Structure formats: C-alpha cells, structure tokens
Amino acid sequence: MATTTEGPLSGLRVIELAGIGPGPFAATLLADLGAEVIRVERPGDETSPIPPHLDILRRSRESVIVNLRTQAGVNAVLDLVEKADVLIEGFRPGVTERLGLGPDQCLARNPRLVYGRMTGWGQYGPLATSAGHDISYLALTGALHAMGRADEDPAIPLNLVGDFGGGSLYLVVGVLAGVFDAARSGQGQVVDAAIVDGAANLTAVLHAMIAAGLWRDQRGTNELDSGRPWYDVYKTSDGRHVAVGAIEPKFYAEFIDRLGLDPAELDRSSPDSWPAVRKRIADAFATRTREEWAEVFDGTDACVSPVLSLLEAPHHPHNAARGTFVDIGGVRQPAPAPRFSRTPAAVRSEPSIPGAHTREVLVRWGLDNVDELIECGVAIQH
C-alpha cells in the first residue's frame, strides 16, 4: 500500500479564532492530521504564559494577526470564512456575534461551513455565561466526586479529563461529523461542544455499572478507583511507584506469582480480607526498587507498569520504539495520534509565531487588498 506525506485531513481548511486551552488543542489535532489550519489572532492578544515558540498547542499551523475591532478586519476574516470548511472559536456565548463573526454572519457567507464552538458550560443554560475551569465542569458531572481514595478528598486529574478529553476531543469529533454531513447535504451547521457535556459523556460506563449494581457512588470503593488491592499504585523501596491493574483472574494469578506471594494466603473473594491483601502486596513492593520490579514484570500479562514521570516517559523502550514522543525544534513533545497506514499524521511545523504568516496566508487564500490591510494596520505581519 502506497503512503503519502499528506495526512488524512489534507484539503480540509480550518479557521481558528485564537483562544486558550481546549480550542487550540483541537486545532492542533486537526492540523497534525493534515488540515490547513489558520490561526487568527488579535493584536496584543497573547494570553498564554508559554512563549509562542515553545507552545506545542501552536504547532502544525500558520498564524495571522487581524484587528477584529475594525470592520475591515472582520470583513477580511469573513473573506477567509468563504473559503473554509470549518471555523473553531472558544469564546463565551455571544462574543463572536458581537464581533460580527457569529454563526449567522459566517453561514450567510458560507452555507457549507461547520461552525465549532468550544465552551465550558455550552451555549445555553443557567451557567452558560459564567466563568469556569476544568475542575468546575468535572465537579458538576459527578466525575470529580468519583476520583480519589475512599478516605481522601476528590483527586484532581490535571485538566486532561475536562478541557482536553471532554472538550477538545468532542469538538474534533463534532466538526468532523459536521464536515461529513456537509459533504452529503451541502449544508453546514453549528457544533455546540461543551466541556460539561463531554466530561459527562465520558462517565457513561460508570452509569452503566451503577445501573447493574457494579459501582457504588462512593469513591475509592470500586474496581477502577483504588477500591481493590489489585488495581492500585504501590510505593517501591526507592520511593517511586508501580501501577497494578491485574483485574482478570489469570492476570492476577501471574501478578501474585511474580510478586513472590502465595495465593493460598490471599483471600481475593472477600472484601473483608482486602485490607490484609493490600498490606501484603504493599510490603512486597517495598522490598525492591521501581526498576527492579519493572524488570520482573516486563513483557508479562501481570499488568504491572512503572509509574514514569513526564520527563522519563519518552525514554521508555516501548515509547521509544513507537516514536510516541518526538523532538521538534529542540522541544520534546507527544507525537500526533492516532496512526494511519497510508496517510500518516505528522507535526507539520514548529509552533507558529503570532502574525508570522499574515501576508502569505491572506494572499494564498485569495484576498485582493492584502497590502492595504497591512499598510493601515488592520492586518499585521511580523
């Protein structure tokens, strides 16, 4: 099967109205997969504390600066919209409408446009216009309550579950579904991607387990939340950790065998015995270092892995063999995912500098007054 250097989304044109967090990550995913993504930024609107040349969420795409406080700037973006397949924005509800770049204005110029909206609370509802962050959205979905140990406060899962899991990924699925539909119907539409909706959707299996009587609405007491001794993390003799996920009986049997314990002395069937089982496992892990245990369990079905730091992870032999991390411009970062056999994804370029491609993009996309826009300061080329 012949391969190509273009990703599976080659030919898809996306306008990204610059924001922070889940919107830019969604744009990065689309760009890594081959879409031509143009990041439209406003003068002086550098809200990220990360310097642009180090900001991985700016990679694989070009940047233009346009003053959206001017009608000429709004008109320039609408000219780009006419030629785009997708627009992504991550402002509070009503902001793009006030700018003159809301769904009605954009779809009037391009009826096939898929207009992706990324917010925390969604476009309507009592909290729609309120501020929030990842932790806020997880709190209202039940997801945050479910995370952590039984005798501790809820554990904060960074901003991966809300912003990027329930937000970016659902926005990408939504806009790609919209593009698929537009190709058949000739009509675009608005995608209302709310982090609170996506994060709630991610808990679907937990609700199924509750309905089946297999999950208690009490953290730290269930199969996947540290409620079982065979699904937990344990400290090793060097103060590091290993992760254990030996749920199935055959995996558990190999786990106990390689740990050097006697299964006859460990009662897995009775919850009353689990504290004792947990202590035996913890005591065993405390006798060797993380790396010694990693060697014991490497390549087995015992489902035991060393808990690596962010800086350690790229050097693990499995990650190295798959190229799970790459170096781009001297910055170590995750490689694009998922993988395609014929149209591989790739990091198309280093993170864009704001306004570095203004003239080039506006000319390539067919605007006929580019020099005038730059001379009067509506568009800025750096």
pLDDT digits (tens, 9 = 90+) for 153-163: 999 999 999 99
Q: What is the pLDDT at residue 20?
A: 86
Please confirm, yes or no, whether 315 is among the known catalytic residues: no
pTM as predicted: 0.95
Strands 304-306 and 325-328: unpaired
Stretch 221-229: mean pLDDT: 97
* Residue 56: partners with Cβ closer than 8 Å, 6 or more residues away: 28, 331, 333, 334, 351
Q: 301 catalytic, yes or no? A: no
pLDDT at 2: 64
pLDDT at 170 over 90: yes
The residue from 133, 207, 318, 382 that is catalytic is 133
- The 10s digit of each residue's pLDDT in 1-39 is 566 678 999 999 999 999 988 999 999 999 999 999 999
Pairing of strands 114-119, 36-41: unpaired
**Residues forming a β-bridge with 40:** 17, 64
Confidence of residue 105 (pLDDT cuts 50, 70, 90): very high
Give the mean pLDDT of the chain: 96
Residue 42 CB neighbours (<10 A): 17
Among 163, 197, 225, 232, the active-site one is 163
Q: Tell me the domains of the chain and their CATH numbers.
A: 13-202+326-380 (3.40.50.10540), 231-235+241-306 (3.30.1540.10)
Question: CA 296 to CA 286: how far, in whole Å?
Answer: 14
Residue 88 has pLDDT above 90, yes or no: yes
| Per-residue pLDDT at 44 exceeds 90 | no
Beta strands, E only, the chain: 13-17, 36-41, 62-66, 86-89, 114-119, 189-194, 231-235, 241-245, 304-306, 325-328, 331-334, 379-380
Tens of pLDDT along 240-290?
Answer: 999 999 999 999 999 999 999 999 999 999 999 999 999 999 999 999 999
Q: What DSSP line would sit under 277-330, residue for residue?
A: HHHHHHHHHTTS-HHHHHHHHTTSSS-EEE---TTTGGGSHHHHHHT-EEEETT
DSSP code, position 72 = H
Task: Look at residue 302 in the predicted model and tell me its pLDDT.
Answer: 98
**Per-residue pLDDT averaged across 319-323, rounded?**
98
